[in-house]
Amino acid sequence: MKKITLILAAAMTVLVCACGNNQGNKKNSETKTNVEEQYIKADLKIKLDSLVKEMGRLSTPVIVDIQNGELTLTDKEKRNKPAYLLPASKADEAVTLNEKYRAVVMLGCDMTVAQLYGMPVDSYKQAIAKLQADINNPAFGNAQSEGSLESRIEKFYNESVKAGTVNLFWEAVVAGTIEQLFIITQNIDKFLPCFDDKAASEVSYRFILVHEGIKSLIPYHPELEQLQTILKPLEVINATNTAELRDQLLELKGAIENARGQLL
């Protein structure tokens, strides 16, 4: 019995030592992984920072022109109300956080167009306020604060990084990009003159930047693959001037509308 007890004791000692070594190895492995992840994330942030800064420098005709009072309508034009705007009630269909981010931006664009046509916008304001309350992210408030478009985009992005919601920042960017293209295609004769050749060429550049941002985040946020799929048919946009942009938008009108429908 004594011999058996000694054998068991020896076995337990080996087991404890083995477990201790495994835990140590596991801890070392975890530490190494954490360090690697920090380097990856730091490198990724530098890349995303650069992409966002570039986006902020790009011109954003139509919506910004309306907000700045540079794009106006005659009384006759205002009488022909647009039927293509999302109703404010569309906000009720936004269930996930991703959808709520998309809805805020898309409804915001449509509200701007509604204001251009002298349409009532109280329902839009209420719907957007409710979505923002559900999201509870101060980044949206900063994005709407005063300052240049570049500074507002960077504020929105930086707040998203702090909150750990940088993936949702890109959801909002994609939603805004597609909704604005959709709006342009619905009244191209009125809205395309807001573009000069430089602004037209920047449309395709914006797609490149957005694609790079999403692709970089997919390893951390696989759900962003859906955005890549939605944007895929629009990657052929490569206009270098307004004439080319007009032709491409008219050709892709159905694809843009389909992409919009997939977002919300």
Give the pLDDT score at 146.
62
**Which among 112, 124, 222 has a CA at the least distance from the CA of 176?**
112
Round to whole Å and give the CA distance between 224 and 245. 27
- As a three-state string, the secondary structure of the chain is CHHHHHHHHHHHHHHHHHHHHHHHHHHHHHHHHHHHHHHHHHHHHHHHHHHHHHHHHCCCCCHHHHHCCCCCCCHHHHHCCCCCCCCHHHHHHCCCHHHHHHHHHHHHHHHHHHHHCCCCCHHHHHHHHHHHHHHCCCHHHHHCCCCCHHHHHHHHHHHHHHHCCHHHHHHHHHHHHHHHHHHHHHCHHHHHHHCCHHHHHHHHHHHHHHHHHHHHHCCCCHHHHHHHHHHHHHCCCCCCCHHHHHHHHHHCHHHHHHHHHHHC
Round to whole Å and give the CA distance between 236 and 228. 13
pTM: 0.83
Residue pLDDT tens, the chain, 264 long = 433 333 333 333 332 333 344 444 444 444 444 444 454 578 899 999 999 999 989 988 998 899 889 999 999 999 999 999 999 999 999 999 999 999 999 999 999 999 999 999 999 999 999 999 999 887 666 566 566 777 888 888 988 888 888 999 999 999 999 999 999 999 999 999 999 999 999 998 999 999 999 999 999 999 999 999 999 999 999 999 999 999 999 999 999 999 999 999
Give the pLDDT score at 221.
93
Give the pLDDT score at 130.
96
Round to whole Å and give the CA distance between 234 and 259. 9
Given a contact cutoff of 8 angstroms between Cβ atoms, the answer to whether 210 and 173 are in contact is yes
Q: Which residue has the tokens 């000692």?
A: 13
Round to whole Å and give the CA distance between 83 and 88. 13
Q: What angle do CA 68, 61, 154 make, to 5 degrees?
A: 80
Q: Which residue has the tokens 């052929």?
A: 236
Sign of CA dihedral 146, 150, 152, 154: negative
End-to-end Cα spacing for the chain: 74
